Amino acid sequence: MKVFLAGIIQGSLAEPVIHDQDWREPIKAALAAHLPQAEVYCHYSRHPDSITYELPEIRETLATGNRCAAESDVLIAYVPSASMGTAIEMHEAYARGAVIVTISPLTANWVLRAYSDRILPDVAAFEAFAASGELTALIAAKRNL
């Protein structure tokens, strides 16, 4: 089962800096513990210096990430604030029927509401969701539609 970690990197920051990426490891740990069959793809882990890329590499990296999101069975989106890249990845995964679980306080956001199978308020809620078996049940239910 392919799981894609999507989430804010630069977001709406005007400077060439990134948001804290400390959310990734707890999500990976929860998936390893409660969805051990998951093959987790983390685009940021593959491109930790992407903020320094020039345009050709930016385009190639975006295309690769979008393709991986589209090929995923499950997409976990971390969206504490607006993220255009994450929105594209969510769209690609949704268009191909992936389960999408979003971690975000932005519960009124149309993109998140339209594409998410579940919206959780924070990483701790995701960890509890995975530990309770609800993530596994959501995946099974969507596969049986």
Strand order, beta sheet including 39-42? 39-42, 2-7, 74-78, 99-103, 118-120
Q: How many domains does one find in the chain?
A: 1
Span 66-111, pLDDT tens digits: 999 999 999 999 999 999 999 999 999 999 999 999 999 999 999 9
User: Whole-angstrom Cα distance, residue 104 to residue 47?
Assistant: 23
pLDDT tens string 35-58:
999 999 998 788 778 778 889 998
CATH number of the domain enclosing 60:
3.40.50.450
